[in-house]
Structure 1
Amino acid sequence: MTPAAMRAKAAIARGDLITAYDETVSAIAEGDDSLAIRHQQVLALARMGDTDRAMELFEAYDLDGSDDPHQQAIGARLLKDRALALPPGPARQSALQAAFEAYLAIFTETADSYPGINAASLAALCGQGGQAIGIAEQILTDPEVAEPGNYYMAATRSEALLLTGRIEECAEALNEAAGLVGNDFGASSTTCRQLELLAGHTGLDNERAHRLLRPIRPPRVLHFCGHIFASDRKAEAAILGGIDRFLEERNIGFAYGAVAAGADILIAEAVLARGGELHVVLPFALGDFVEQSVRPAGEEWVGRFERCLEAATSQTLATEMAYVGDPQQFAYASRVAMGLATLRAQHLGSSALQLAVWDGKGADGVAGTGADVSVWRKYGGETVVIDPGRVDRAFQRPPTREFAGDERSLAAIIFTDFPGFSSLAEEALPPFWNGVMRSIADVLHEHGDDVLTKNSWGDALYAIASSARAAADIALQLQDRLKGFDYATLGLEQGTGMRIGAHYGPAYRMIDHITGQLNFYGTEVSRAARIEPVTPPGEVFVTEPFAAILALESVERYRCRYVGRIELAKGYGVYPMYWLTRLSQNAPAS
């Protein structure tokens, strides 16, 4: 296995699928021609739920012809994923049968326990209990499974024991697996999904299944927030006791949030002390954040902040701008952090929690601990509160920075473009205007007050929606509407479509001096304008903040599939980008 493939495999092992995918893209671009790096790429996509793109690459890379049964078997795994995404019924059963046959063929040829145990499980899901037990019993005779020396073999043994009805032995095997080499977060989350599926099929109730899987469940993901206060070792010790108990009881291994003085830093330090991953999400430029949210509570916090930042697994600037005195900048970053925590939990097959060191008082604005708790609970999240007690919050705060000029608000920003417009013949312009642009106008009209402002020039559309959810609906409906358009009337081949880019962030809002209509401007609007040119025709690309907000607010409706770090137009920089589809919609071929 090449070094890049090993790095990608390690990222998958810790459940960091985005880093794993980025690693494979870079390695392939730099000339790594190994099947191992391609296998890791397909696996990362599969675990992110991007089944169709994973299958496309599996076929393009000819992994089915590999000598490695694990590389061959990922095709069968993708067939299984497609099947499980279908509603119950004949089509699902037929798809499960196809996946079973694919795994069984590899097992028959190689006798490898990985395709074997998957064939056994799928036989059970297909209602072929006798064959499932037969294959499982055969696997249990494999010496490496009977006396497992690593996590994978112990997990295989536990699955085979579950299929044969030996629940107590299955529990013992899982306890053994928890302490063996190879018990990483990626592997354990996959095992949990598989055994939960089988447990439900075999009639185990939820409580018993939960107890069965407890030894191998991966750590939970946390969003954290809390009050800023002056350093006080006695008060900190009392708060830290509650933080440590919570982290231990809930098995927290990943934490997302800002690292302001006081509660934030206490939580960050505690997560790092137990070997967890810290993911810092700052609302604006680092220097400004220190001056606004760290140094005012005491110089001691600055050193602790810097040490947390140095030890963090990742650092994200929600916006790259300076602080402009806008509380929406704090509110926006908090929501992005919540969404990123939600996305990470999805990749690990769990749900995220929120920990708030909070006095219980509601916020008097859009930002602050009370506001963060309110947002998290609004979208159905669980919050655990630790009372900070008598801490000193009366320190001298920085002077209020009044932002100059226009009002600011959060905006969902859409830009579209029609590739090939500039080459249209003169006689094609009326059909374009009355067909394509009329369809766009109809969609915007149907969304009424959710469209805050809109404008067009030539083939381009610029619109601001009231929320990321509204913007997602508009963007996808635009593509739906244009799929039925007869492009032959424009002298173009069928299948062309709009390029649509969307972003979510804070912006200025004002009455446009030229048009007299409401308009928005600012750094985040400029960034949004650079997305559409790098989007494939007929698709919708969105930024990571947009994807994070949708994960927080509308996880039941949309899927944002990671496509990699993309260089935006006009040298604007390289940013993580996501492919927006409806939850039930298959992503088209790239």
Structure 2
Amino acid sequence: MIRQRIPRSEAGHRDVGDVLQSISSASLGELMSIWRARAHEEGSGSPAVFRCLGERVLAQGEPLLAYDVVSAGLGIWPQDVRLRQLQGLALSRSGATERANAVLENLRREDDASEETLGMLGRTYKDLAATAATRKQRNAFLKRAAETYSRAYEATAGYWTGINAATMNLLIGKTELAQRLARRVRDECLKKIEDPKEDHYWELAALGEASLILRDRSQARKWYAHAAEAGKNRFGDLHSSRRNARLILQHWNEDHGWIENYLRIPCVLVFAGHMIDRPDRTTPRFPSEFESQVAKEIQRKIDRLKPGFGLASAACGSDILFLEAMLDTGAEVSVVLPYNEEDFVRDSVDFVPNSKWRARFERVLARSARVITASTQRMGIGGSSYEFCSQLLLGLAAIRCRQLDTTLVPLVIWNETPGDGPGGTASIVENWRKIGYEPEIINLEKICRRSLPLPAGRQRRPLQRSRPAGTDTAQTSEELFGARVVAILFADAVGFSKLTEPEVPRFVEHFFGAIARLTKKFAGSIIARNTWGDGLYFVFDEVDQAGEFALALAEMATKTDWAKKGLRAELNLRIALHAGPVYEFDDPITGRRNFSGTHVSRAARIEPITPAGQVYASEAFAALAAAHRTSNFTCDYVGQTPLAKGYGTLPTYHVRARATARL
């Protein structure tokens, strides 16, 4: 359990006080708006604004945004202890446990033995225990966590490190000590909650946790019910409390299902659905006359599922109806546009004469917590831009679920018939099912059938199928060019520019030779490859294979003794990964299959910012890896990283093998 402390404004800074006041009462969407608008810069004379904003965002369950906030503050005040603590906590809650542990261990070694630092450090050992491969390793990490929490409690007598010390000691078998600590914490918290003016979420949660340790379930239910009310919509805090409760109940071999009723984290909905019919659509599918009926069905699903988070695109029709309904319930909403807003509005929003879809589109975007543009431009061939958008939506939803340990529910408005091609609703449902997600379906065809008949001239007619491919002797551009979503790898040899002429042949023989041998193991998934000088370029049809190859490549480069092969010992690789839609074609110069497009350029810009020996990836790659449930590697958030040659910043991730950390 982690307690959040909201700092008071510092005297003498009127602007700081104003900004702090706006932050302290803001919802998550408002906090994101404050960050996007850079309102915190009004108080840039003080780190208090960055601390407060980071704490509030963490409490709402957005560790990636919190990491960006506190990292920006550390860029101005690199030695600020509270910002460094929050950076460690943000990393821990985002799943980057080893990096969090390193940040907090550095603070401890600098003689910071505060309750906050030691408590957060104890959490990282608890997290490492959760991912340990063996019981021995798990127990070692739990013991380290118990020692760290106990040291903090002995020094400060703070209840939140005390209750964590009690829980960790229980898990390592020191039941008598754990229950003695739980009683002390219980007595202290009962005194603290006598003041009704303060925020007592953490005291109430500690009372619930102490009751579980003491095996008093009725008292645990009572205190967790009060905590849930006090912590409403503080999903990051609720998740932290729920995790400890589960650990205790598992230790006692008791069912922990009941705790979900009190510390419930609502599900995440990822959405897809048909647009309102275009005026020239041959066969009606979603006529505008049925908009209100579809909206009612969406609301029924939302009322039943009770989601807290929703991700969708924003085309007219199903998307906007879903976003409006979610926002009206107070849910957190994120929007992914397949390409730039101007073209998307023209193609998918503002094509119905005398409608208000454009204004409704602008309103939902203004109220959304986050708006992401998947590609700068639409692919001119096929539906790969929309296919990529749907995969990105699913992946971002999966990442959100992982952060809060909640359920992902795909929801679709669909007529349950074959669609118009890749990237359409039928295609999205097919892809969801291939990965293992079974969606909740609102059957559009049934809604239309039981509703009023369409006006004259709008009745359904048989769909006019296009002429089968190959019936025309002239090749179309789609036959000469294809488009698909791929994973892209760029790598550069660090130290190549220092090679002497005699070393170049040895570089080709040993360095490139080792890479060539490695590619044979992944031959089934590599669909294109190239080299130039010391540069490497690979294209894969699956993100999981791209990630595994990148890590194998990095391991080969860092572990090989290049000096024994007559090369410089410091020789290494920088490796970058990205995923996105690209054009596929027969290269008229090389005669080989090749891939090109703006996403290839985006991948190339990540490589120069990658540290030697590491693998960095874009958010798109991390999202698609999450969507496809990759199990052999994980993507840890690095932050908003400036790209090479002034191409702005990009959310980047560190790709590493999903291996057990060691003491």
Tell me which interval the TM-score lies in, with the shorter structure as reference length.
over 0.9
Q: How many residues align?
A: 582
Task: Check 1:233–1:152 CA distance in 2 against 1; reply closer, same or farther (3 A cut).
Answer: farther
Equivalent residue for 1:449, pick from 511, 515, 524: 524
Instruction: Report what 2:306 is aligned to.
Output: 251
- Counterpart-to-counterpart distance in 1, 2:317 and 2:333: 16
Deviations 1:203-235 (A, max 9, x none): 112xxx222232222222111111112597873
Instruction: Report what 2:540 is aligned to.
Output: 465
Instruction: Report what 1:110 is aligned to.
Output: 156
Matched, 1:320 2:320: no
Instruction: Report what 1:91 is aligned to.
Output: 137
Task: Check 1:261–1:20 CA distance in 2 against 1; reply closer, same or farther (3 A cut).
Answer: same
- Counterpart-to-counterpart distance in 2, 1:142 and 1:367: 58
Contact 2:609-2:643 at 8 Å conserved across structures: yes
Task: Check 1:123–1:510 CA distance in 2 against 1; reply closer, same or farther (3 A cut).
Answer: same
Once the two structures are superposed, the pairs formed by residues 62-211 of structure 1 within 5 Å of their partners are 62=108, 65-66=111-112, 68-144=114-190, 147=193, 150-180=200-230, 184-205=234-255, 209-211=256-258
Kindly state the Cα deviation for residue 493 of structure 1 after the two structures are TM-superposed. 6.6
Equivalent residue for 2:351, pick from 288, 296, 317: 296
The one-letter amino acid paired with 2:415 is D
Matched, 1:236 2:291: yes
Task: Check 1:509–1:129 CA distance in 2 against 1; reply closer, same or farther (3 A cut).
Answer: same
Matched, 1:14 2:60: yes
The one-letter amino acid paired with 2:513 is R
The one-letter amino acid paired with 2:414 is W
Q: Decide which moves more: 3-12 or 422-431.
A: 422-431
Contact 1:17-1:44 at 8 Å conserved across structures: yes
Once the two structures are superposed, the pairs formed by residues 380-391 of structure 1 within 5 Å of their partners are 380-388=436-444, 389-390=447-448
Deviations 1:49-77 (A, max 9, x none): 11111122223344874464123311111
The one-letter amino acid paired with 2:496 is F
Instruction: Report what 2:280 is aligned to.
Output: none
Contact 1:220-1:352 at 8 Å conserved across structures: yes
Instruction: Report what 2:415 is aligned to.
Output: 359
Q: Could you say what secondary structure the match of 1:173 adopts?
A: helix
- Counterpart-to-counterpart distance in 2, 1:586 and 1:499: 23
Kindly state the Cα deviation for residue 170 of structure 1 after the two structures are TM-superposed. 0.6
- Counterpart-to-counterpart distance in 2, 1:233 and 1:166: 57
Contact 2:410-2:440 at 8 Å conserved across structures: yes
Q: Decide which moves more: 138-147 or 577-586.
A: 138-147
Q: RMSD of the TM alignment (CA)? A: 2.6
Q: Decide which moves more: 62-71 or 410-419.
A: 62-71
Normalising by structure 1, what TM-score? 0.93
Kindly state the Cα deviation for residue 241 of structure 1 after the two structures are TM-superposed. 2.9
The one-letter amino acid paired with 1:116 is G
- Counterpart-to-counterpart distance in 2, 1:473 and 1:362: 34
- Counterpart-to-counterpart distance in 2, 1:190 and 1:143: 18
Q: Decide which moves more: 510-519 or 58-67.
A: 58-67
Q: Could you say what secondary structure the match of 1:418 adopts?
A: strand
Instruction: Report what 2:583 is aligned to.
Output: 508
Matched, 1:372 2:428: yes
Once the two structures are superposed, the pairs formed by residues 480-499 of structure 1 within 5 Å of their partners are 480-489=555-564, 494=569, 496-499=571-574
Instruction: Report what 1:344 is aligned to.
Output: 400
Larger radius of gyration: 2
Q: Decide which moves more: 237-246 or 183-192.
A: 237-246
Unmatched segments (≥5 aa) in structure 1: none
Instruction: Report what 2:493 is aligned to.
Output: 418
Deviations 1:329-388 (A, max 9, x none): 101111001100110111111231111112222335222112212222222224111123
Deviations 1:414-441 (A, max 9, x none): 1111111011122222332221111111
- Counterpart-to-counterpart distance in 2, 1:144 and 1:560: 42
Kindly state the Cα deviation for residue 255 of structure 1 after the two structures are TM-superposed. 1.0
Q: Decide which moves more: 26-35 or 10-19.
A: 26-35
- Counterpart-to-counterpart distance in 2, 1:284 and 1:183: 32
- Counterpart-to-counterpart distance in 1, 2:347 and 2:529: 35
Contact 2:609-2:644 at 8 Å conserved across structures: yes
The one-letter amino acid paired with 2:537 is Y
Identity level (%): 31
Equivalent residue for 1:48, pick from 94, 100, 108: 94
Instruction: Report what 1:564 is aligned to.
Output: 639
Q: Could you say what secondary structure the match of 1:513 adopts?
A: coil
Instruction: Report what 1:528 is aligned to.
Output: 603
Task: Check 1:585–1:439 CA distance in 2 against 1; reply closer, same or farther (3 A cut).
Answer: farther
Q: Decide which moves more: 532-541 or 477-486.
A: 477-486
The one-letter amino acid paired with 1:278 is V
Kindly state the Cα deviation for residue 102 of structure 1 after the two structures are TM-superposed. 1.3
Instruction: Report what 2:323 is aligned to.
Output: 268
Matched, 1:219 2:266: yes
Q: Could you say what secondary structure the match of 1:256 adopts?
A: strand
Instruction: Report what 1:477 is aligned to.
Output: 552
Unmatched segments (≥5 aa) in structure 2: 1-6, 8-47, 278-285, 461-465, 467-475
- Counterpart-to-counterpart distance in 2, 1:93 and 1:67: 24
- Counterpart-to-counterpart distance in 2, 1:9 and 1:394: 56
